[in-house]
Amino acid sequence: MRPVDDDLAEFMKNPPMQAGLDAAVRTQNCIIQPAGTFSAVESAFNQIKTLIGLSARMVDPDDLFLVNGVLGLDVSGFLTRIKYYQSMLNSTVSKCSQDGATVAKGQEITRIFREVTALVQSKATRMGVIPQ
């Protein structure tokens, strides 16, 4: 996820100037929303990764039950929010369809959202964590 995050920051800092200043400003404006959305998903995913790591190290059954309960809530919230974030991303890409950089990054972020969603669902299922 880090390379995409870096790419988004680079597009905001140094947009492509080949098409002129107006196009560069449009690219900056169009990239802001996907960048914020991506950062929010990345943060939520990192929190889930931390809880999974913590759960794997639990030896006390009561502690494991507690961590898995929190993990179930986080997984549920993550899966709900990622649908909302994908909708926001689709809206932004639609509004910025004339901007090739935004469309390309939007497609890349959509692919990452699908992969992250599948990974979170798979890991939760294997751990017996039930989204709340």
Encode pLDDT of 31-90 as tens digits: 888 888 889 899 999 999 998 888 888 889 998 888 888 888 899 899 999 999 999 999
d(CA 9, CA 3) in angstroms, rounded, equals 10
Provide the residue type at 33 as one letter.
Q
- pLDDT over 80 at 126, yes or no: yes
Q: What is the pLDDT of residues 91-100, one digit of tens each?
A: 988 888 887 7
Residue 11 C-alpha from the chain's centroid = 18
For residues 27 and 86, the model is more confident at 86
Residue range 97-104: mean pLDDT, rounded: 82
Distances (CA, A) of 21 to 15, 25, 43, 57: 9, 6, 33, 53
* 91 φ, ψ (degrees, to nearest 5): -65, -45
